[in-house]
């Protein structure tokens, strides 16, 4: 095993039980069950802590139950002045360490109207003002973020999902890496970071997916490992179609972690940065035992 360092997952969503719950189970018990499903999944693969991209009720429940293991990334839906207020309120919430904007519609890969028309501008300005990092879901439109970076050079942003569109939520592409160049354009901006998420789904090879590790090396050379952070998005990876095998179960949580943890082309220092140090430094949060 590599050196002893904390493993922090920079993106998990609220997991759902595999079968429906009876009405008698109750909303509060259902919420606790979802917390325990996430905790159990993390325990099963040796993940120490995670950032939750979820609704505030779920974030609060996870943080209350396991205060040292979870922190929240609030997804903002507001526009205009309401967005300014929401950003400032999130910055004052100890459970929230970052925000997230959906700047591209993952279903059609087009920039959303709110971004194109400037309705998110108040949010970018407020986040820059209060120092709240923003995760941006661009789905292949990373290059369109350059004007934002030029207007707000102090704003820390993290481009989700390697800046490319990914199945199963987005339409499949003949070359899943064809928009990577738009992400690499942003490497010259020192406050841009990249979420290394969904690597197994971008491979055309069997385990250990050596073709994706070549792309990861390209990103390390462009951004520096200190600006890259690993994330599993394991609930999405479980939905992926990965062939006609007997157990068509998508990709496992352990697979996306082990690509980094046991990657032969990565040094221990690079693994430590990717698997937690970069994320913890950016969002100014460190899990407790």
The pTM (predicted TM-score) of the whole model is 0.94
In this predicted model, what pLDDT tens digit does every residue of 35-68 receive, in sequence order? Answer: 999 999 999 999 999 999 999 999 999 999 999 9
**Which residue bears the tokens 């354009």?**
185
Distance CA 66, CA 35 (A): 9
The pLDDT of residue 243 is 56
pLDDT for residue 122 is more than 70: yes
- Domains of the chain are 8-283 (3.20.20.140)
Q: How many CB atoms lie within 10 A of CB 107?
A: 10
Please report which confidence band the pLDDT of residue 20 belongs to, taking 50, 70 and 90 as the band edges.
confident
pLDDT 10s digits, 240-256: 765 554 344 578 899 99
> What residues form DSSP beta bridges with 12?
52
Structural element, H or E, at residue 184: helix 180-184
Digit-coded pLDDT (tens) for 170-223 = 887 888 899 999 999 999 999 999 999 999 888 888 888 889 999 999 999 999
Binned at pLDDT 50, 70 and 90, residue 1 comes out as: very low
- pLDDT tens digits, residue range 140-155? 999 999 999 999 999 9
Overall average pLDDT of the 24-30 stretch: 91
DSSP state of 18: S
The predicted pLDDT at position 246 comes to 38
- H helices present in 46-175, as ranges: 56-65, 80-91, 113-116, 121-130, 146-151
199 or 96, higher pLDDT: 96
């Amino acid at each position: 095993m590599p050196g002893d360092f904390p493993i922090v997952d920079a993106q998990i969503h609220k997991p759902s039980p595999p079968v429906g719950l009876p009405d008698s189970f109750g909303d509060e018990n259902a919420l606790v069950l979802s917390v325990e499903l996430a905790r159990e999944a993390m325990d099963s693969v040796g993940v120490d802590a995670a950032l939750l991209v979820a609704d505030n009720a779920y974030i609060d429940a996870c943080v209350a139950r396991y205060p040292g293991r979870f922190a929240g990334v609030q997804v903002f839906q507001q526009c205009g002045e309401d967005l300014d207020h929401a950003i400032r309120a999130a910055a004052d919430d100890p459970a929230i360490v970052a925000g997230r904007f959906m700047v591209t519609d993952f279903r059609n890969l087009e920039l959303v109207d709110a971004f194109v028309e400037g309705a998110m501008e108040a949010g970018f300005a407020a986040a820059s003002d209060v120092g709240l990092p923003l995760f941006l879901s661009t789905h292949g439109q990373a290059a369109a973020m350059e004007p934002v970076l030029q207007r707000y050079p102090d704003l820390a942003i993290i481009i989700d999902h390697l800046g490319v569109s990914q199945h199963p939520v987005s339409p499949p592409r003949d070359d899943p890496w064809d928009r990577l160049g738009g992400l690499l354009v942003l490497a010259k901006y020192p406050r841009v970071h990249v979420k290394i998420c969904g690597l197994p789904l971008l491979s055309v090879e069997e385990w250990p997916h050596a073709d994706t590790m070549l792309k990861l090396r390209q990103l390390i050379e462009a951004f520096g490992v200190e600006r890259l952070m690993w994330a599993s998005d394991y609930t999405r990876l479980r939905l992926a179609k990965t062939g006609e095998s007997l157990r068509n179960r998508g990709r496992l949580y352990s697979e996306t972690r082990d690509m980094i943890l046991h990657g032969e082309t990565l040094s221990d220092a690079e693994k430590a940065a990717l698997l937690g140090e970069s994320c913890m430094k950016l969002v100014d949060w460190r899990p407790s035992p």
